[in-house]
Amino acid sequence: MKRARAKRSTRKPGGSDKGRSSPRRGGSVRPRHLFAHWESVRRRLRAAGKLALFLDFDGTLAPICLHPDEVKIPLPTRRVLRRLARHPRVNLYVISGRRMADVRGHVRIHPVTYLGLHGWERSNGKLTESETFRFMQRLRREVEKETEGLEGIWIQDKTIVFVVHYRRAGDAARRRARAVLATLLAKAGSRVRLMEGKKVWEILPVELKGKGAAVLTLLRESKGRLLPIYLGDDTTDEAAFAALSRGITVRVGKPQPTRARYELRDPGEVCEFLRKLEAEIS
């Protein structure tokens, strides 16, 4: 039997660099380190007109801390962000699970489009004037009551979303808190969903579609064609990686299966990437 000849690649420079390790629609694989494939990336950057640069905050721009209020963007990252925010070829977005005012207060760079609550909050709209708000507040109070006294468990109120933190909790407290959530969320039914993050459980109303839907909406609203670039570190970013499968998607953190095409190890490498990006488009 004759062996079938391998097909020669017909991919043009600047096109998508699909390969055996590239994410498939709906699936997760091990990504490739971004700097090891920089030549492919730089061709796309140079061929693009404008860039839509989407950046997560915690764990991407800034290292994660024990408490969310302690998080700070390193000064070298802040400096390159300021320059990119003013670059005529860059539309810069910071998209976070935090409230919009919170992430804007931590970043403090203009002009930047800030998006809170995983992209759902784009203005200081009156989130308190809805039945969904009242329902989520009641649910949060129930969770607080049932987890009271569990050492290391604390609940962050984001108005229409709340987060159960267990980074400082022992195994027994974490298991008890998880059981409480399972019971109360089962009663809530289809009105809410749970997203697991880094040592947190985030409870959201189903109206909040997540980061994937948010970035697609922003791209549809933008004038002209933009090359989307998305960097994020958490499970909440996977929907955006999938939605932007034809863009440049980068997962930040320890290597693991993801829908992102590339990976970077930590916020320090994110800063290095931002500097390299700036050099390519200057």
pLDDT profile of the chain (282 residues), mean per 10:
41 37 55 94 94 97 90 97 97 94 94 92 62 92 95 92 94 96 93 90 90 94 90 94 97 94 97 97 90
Strands across the sheet containing 226-232: 32-33, 262-264, 248-252, 226-232, 50-55, 90-95, 113-115
Please say whether the structural domain 32-120+209-281 has been given the CATH code 3.40.50.1000. yes
Q: So what's the pLDDT on residue 120?
A: 87
Q: Which of 3.30.70, 1.10.287, 1.10.10, 1.10.8 is the CATH number of 131-205?
A: 3.30.70
Q: So what's the pLDDT on residue 4?
A: 43
Give 3-state DSSP helix, strand, coil % of the chain, rounded to 5: 40, 20, 40
Contact criterion met (CB below 8 Å) for 77 and 274: yes
Q: So what's the pLDDT on residue 129?
A: 59
Q: What is the 3-state secondary structure (H, E, C) of 18-50?
A: CCCCCCCCCCCECCEEHHHHHHHHHHHHHHCCE
Helix, strand, or coil (residue 226): strand
Q: So what's the pLDDT on residue 1?
A: 43
Domain boundaries defined on the chain: 32-120+209-281, 131-205
pTM of the model: 0.79
Which amino acid, 137? Answer: Q
